[in-house]
Structure 1
Amino acid sequence: MERRALDNLSIKGKKIIGRPVLFNAESENLGGFVEIIAPNAFSEHLASSELDVKALYEHDRKLLLGRTTSGTLIITGDNQGLLVEIDPPDTQTARDLLVSIERGDISGMSFGFITEVDEWDYSRDPALRTVIKAKLLEVTVTSDPAYKQTDVQVAQRSLSQHQTNHNLNHKFHLELMELI
């Protein structure tokens, strides 16, 4: 699973609203390449009857804030990206999180995904990866919306794998296992 993070979060009543994914926005350098998420990259997966995206706090599966299957996580898309609305549980963790968001201590969103189809442009430096089709696995509220070192390591492995496949003239399909 790959993770990316953005700084875009607010509170509406007792719901957490955020934009974890921006379309056509170039990422920071992820270790030899930058990345863009195509506007329809998650469309097929989000329309799937098997959709089960989780909203987490700090990528911790034990700190579940909402879930699409229970209706406590609603994901919508527009021309800018994906927008989420999380109806967190009445737990101490969620109450503390709401206070931290209201204070401005926590303002970031992140997302975890598995790439199914991507394209690479090596004519620029750093190379550009465009995620064409992917499965969204999680959205996360985070205090640190910068790219994590583990994300860069996963991304670097995907770049190496693609270059290997590209050199062998194979069609590139990348799936990453969850690292947690």
Structure 2
Amino acid sequence: MKTDTGTQEIRMFPVSELRADSDNGEITGHAAVFDQEADIWGDKEVIRRGAFKKTISDGADIFAFWNHDSNGVLGRTKNDTLSLAEDKKGLKVSILPPDTPTAQEVRTLIRDGFIDKMSFGFRVIVDKWTHPKEGNGPSLREILEVQLFEVSPVPFPAYDGTDVTARGMRPVKPPCENINEKEHKQEQSENSDGPTEPSRDQRSHSLSEVEKSKRRLALIL
């Protein structure tokens, strides 16, 4: 078991029940689903019940953005326009968006069925990795506790999986006795002419969407 990975990550779930109320404009859905395995970077990942319990009970100031963009604020726990709770299915989200052009557009897109996914930005506090006994096949990562930063209705993910997809930084996988993995790393090292300096574009894309959002948010608060 590993504690506090320090890595900021984003996950996206298709949620058929994501909807916008026609009367008060409330947006509801689930930003995460419990006990549902997903393909993430060649491994399996599952979020366990209780993963959001502490971050919610701590009263953290969590935002709802449109597509992880802090310029499109839809709700905030601090002013009670964003409500978060764990239920039997997962992380239940209720947003009371402001009367802004962005919020009106998002409500329309959800109501008309153009947007049916939600995503959340987080940092893993506690997770557990289980590696295959034979050294082949995917490892299983169980997410047991997270620090939640924001939730977002989103149009599409950056990386496709089966029933969930990932955006942002790759989860840090602890070392394991995997012969094939060692051979692959050794082969890469032998074929390499030495370290290369990443291009400017590569460096700029290395920042996760959550990091970008938090920097923009710091400028407007």
Common topology (TM > 0.5): yes
Give 1:125 deviation, angstroms: 2.3
Match of 1:18 among 16, 29, 35: 29
Select 1:47's aligned residue among 43, 52, 57.
57
1:116 to partner: Cα distance: 0.7
Deviation at 1:32, TM superposition (A): 2.4
- What SS is found at the alignment partner of 1:40? coil
C-alpha distance after superposition, 1:45-77 (max 9, x if no partner): 11003x111101011011110011110000111
TM-aligned CA deviation for residue 151 of structure 1: 4.2
SS in 2 for 1:21: strand
Question: 1:7–1:145: 8 Å Cα contact kept in structure 2?
Answer: no
The alignment status of 1:139 with 2:151, answered yes or no, reads: yes
Residues 1:153 and 1:18: Cα distance change in structure 2 (over 3 Å): closer
Amino acid at match of 2:83: I
- 2:193 maps to none
Flag the 1:79–1:17 CA change in 2: closer, same or farther, 3 A.
same
Q: CA RMSD in A?
A: 2.4
**Distance in 2 separating the partners of 1:17 and 1:3:** 19
Gaps of at least 5 residues in structure 2 are: 1-7, 178-207, 213-221
For residue 98 of structure 2, give the secondary structure of its aligned residue in structure 1. Answer: coil
Mark the CA change 1:74 to 1:131 in structure 2 (over 3 Å): closer, same or farther. Answer: same
Which stretches in structure 1 are left out of the alignment for 5+ residues?
A: 168-175
Aligned pair in 2 of structure 1 residues 148, 2: CA closer, same or farther (>3 Å)?
Answer: farther
> Who is 1:155 aligned against?
170
Q: Provide the rounded CA distance (Å) in 2 between the counterparts of 1:59 and 1:153.
A: 11
Query: Cα distance, 1:11 vs. partner?
Result: 1.4
Q: Normalising by the residue count of structure 1, what TM-score does the alignment of the two structures yield?
A: 0.83
Partner of 2:140: 128
Question: Hey, what does 1:104 align to over in structure 2?
Answer: 113
Given that 2:12 and 2:166 are in contact with CA atoms closer than 8 Å, whether structure 1 keeps it comes out as: no
Q: CA deviation at 1:42?
A: 1.2
Aligned length, in residue pairs:
165
Alignment pair present for 1:4 and 2:8: no
User: Could you tell me which of 70, 73, 80 is aligned with 2:79?
Assistant: 70
Higher strand share goes to which structure? 1
Larger Rg, first or second structure (1 or 2): 2
2-side partners of 1:141 and 1:48: how far apart?
24
